[in-house]
């Protein structure tokens, strides 16, 4: 049995993007210097097999589709990343070395932006969820 070689997460993401874009196994294999079987394994992990049925409920075709993330999932991910970045900015802005290198106007502008974003976030979180009825 062949030993599995771990793939760098950055390369893995690039391979997945190339496959989603419709590039062939062979071209992706050449482009990233990976064995074709490795690219095929990556593709297989990303895909879900579905069967289509005809009017008589008989399977007539099997095809592979790529999983999709919902818009809510993508927005949540972006919001999480932005909140982490905002935390780091706020921590940096509290650092004495950073403060000493900035003008009072620059610090005031930064804190105003952080405060405005925080209020908008709290306001959005306080809004009641819409009913799906």
pLDDT in the model for residue 130: 60
31-66: per-residue pLDDT in tens?
Answer: 989 999 988 888 888 765 555 555 555 555 555 555
Q: Which domains does the chain have, with CATH numbers?
A: 9-65 (1.10.10), 71-126 (no CATH)
| Whether the predicted model's global pTM rises above the 0.75 cut | no
64-104: per-residue pLDDT in tens?
Answer: 555 556 667 777 777 888 888 888 888 888 889 888 999 99
pLDDT in the model for residue 61: 52
Residues 6+ apart with CB under 8 A from 60: 52, 53, 54
Report the interhelical angle of 71-93 vs 104-126 (nearest 10°).
Answer: 150
């Amino acid at each position: 049995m062949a030993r599995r070689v771990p793939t760098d997460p950055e390369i893995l993401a690039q391979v997945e993007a190339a496959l989603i874009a419709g590039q062939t196994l062979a071209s992706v294999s050449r482009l990233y210097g990976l064995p074709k079987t490795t690219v095929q394994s990556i593709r297989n992990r990303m895909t879900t097999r579905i069967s289509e049925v005809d009017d008589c409920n008989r399977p007539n075709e099997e095809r592979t589709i790529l999983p999709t993330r919902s818009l809510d999932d993508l927005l949540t991910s972006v919001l999480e990343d932005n909140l982490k970045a905002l935390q780091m900015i706020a921590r940096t802005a509290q650092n004495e070395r950073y403060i000493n290198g900035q003008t009072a106007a620059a610090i005031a502008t930064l804190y105003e932006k952080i405060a405005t974003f925080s209020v908008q976030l709290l306001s959005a979180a306080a809004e009641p969820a819409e009913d799906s009825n």
